[in-house]
Amino acid sequence: MTTDWNPLLRTEFDKPYWAELQRFVADERASRTVYPPHEEVFAALHLTSYADTRVMILGQDPYHGPGQAHGLCFSVRHGVRTPPSLANIHKELHTDVGVAIPDHGNLEAWATQGVLLLNATLTVRAGQAGSHQKHGWETFTDEVIRTVSDKPDHVVFVLWGGYARRKKSLIDESRHTIIESPHPSPLSAHNGFFGSRPFSRTNEALVAHGQTPIDWGL
């Protein structure tokens, strides 16, 4: 990673789990289709620098359909049909802050403003959700979460769903804001995600700490 994350995370690359993880992913790519493409695995860290990170939205797993995953949680490439969870995010975005529901699902506009869109697992086998979990990615991304929590500047952590909410123990709640709710999945969105106002609440927390709010427009 040729970004300011590199010196902060470099020690992870020397740990035994990292070599094992990279062997696992390389073996998977040699015999199966794996998403996202190799060059986009760390897209979240390339698009959002450590210095610029003001908000962190945590996902669980990359999308496992053709052409969907491109290294940012919940986001898909332009021209790819919007997945159901992202469609619900769009609905809440419109209700919360009045952003028109876009005709695409690409969230890079958020990433370039300091919204770190990180999945806990950074690769997945095509068509098999969760297939690369518990092979080491979580160890790495937990360290990313700790590193963001150690920032001297205030950060808003947005945790959607039970998996993301279990990461609260990695975050210093005395210095940062945590906004949590059920997941935007169609299975749970009506149980508290809709109406949770994560976007306006994030901006309120940023402004309260003297930080620039996010332009959530897509």
Contact 76, 68 (CB under 8 A): yes
Domain contains 153: yes
pLDDT confidence of 214, banded at 50, 70, 90? very high
Question: What pairs with residue 65 in β-bridges?
Answer: none
From residue 103, alpha-carbon distances to 72, 81, 137, 152, 177 in Å are: 18, 9, 32, 37, 31
Quote the distance between the C-alpha of residue 120 and its chain's center: 8
pLDDT, averaged across the chain: 96
From residue 70, alpha-carbon distances to 7, 23, 61, 133 in Å are: 24, 21, 12, 18
Domain contains 154: yes
Domain contains 215: no
User: Could you confirm whether 153 is annotated as catalytic?
Assistant: no
Domain contains 216: no
List the domain range (segments joined by +) for residue 163.
4-209
pLDDT confidence of 34, banded at 50, 70, 90? very high
With 0-12 / 13-18 / 19 or more C-beta atoms within 10 angstroms meaning exposed / middle / buried, residue 193 is buried
Domain contains 214: no
Domain contains 139: yes
* Three-state secondary-structure class, residue 206: helix
Among the listed residues 4, 61, 96, 172, the single catalytic one is 61
Distance CA 160, CA 157 (A): 10
State the amino acid at position 193 in one-letter form: F
pLDDT confidence of 1, banded at 50, 70, 90? low
Q: What are the tokens at 54? A: 């003001």
Domain contains 218: no
Sheet of strand 177-181: strand arrangement: 115-119, 55-59, 156-160, 177-181
Distance CA 19, CA 152 (A): 31
Q: Tell me: the pLDDT tens digits for 82-125?
A: 999 999 999 999 999 999 999 999 999 999 999 999 999 999 99
Domain contains 44: yes
CATH number at residue 87: 3.40.470.10
- Cα-based torsion angle of the residue sequence 179, 73, 125, 122 in order, rounded to the nearest 10 degrees: -80
Q: Tell me: the pLDDT tens digits for 113-159?
A: 999 999 999 999 999 999 999 999 999 999 999 999 999 999 999 99
Percent of the chain with pLDDT over 70: 99
Indicate the pTM of the whole model: 0.96
Residues 6+ apart with CB under 8 A from 110: 55, 57, 117, 214, 216, 218
Q: Per the structure, how many domains does the chain have?
A: 1
Distance CA 13, CA 10 (A): 6
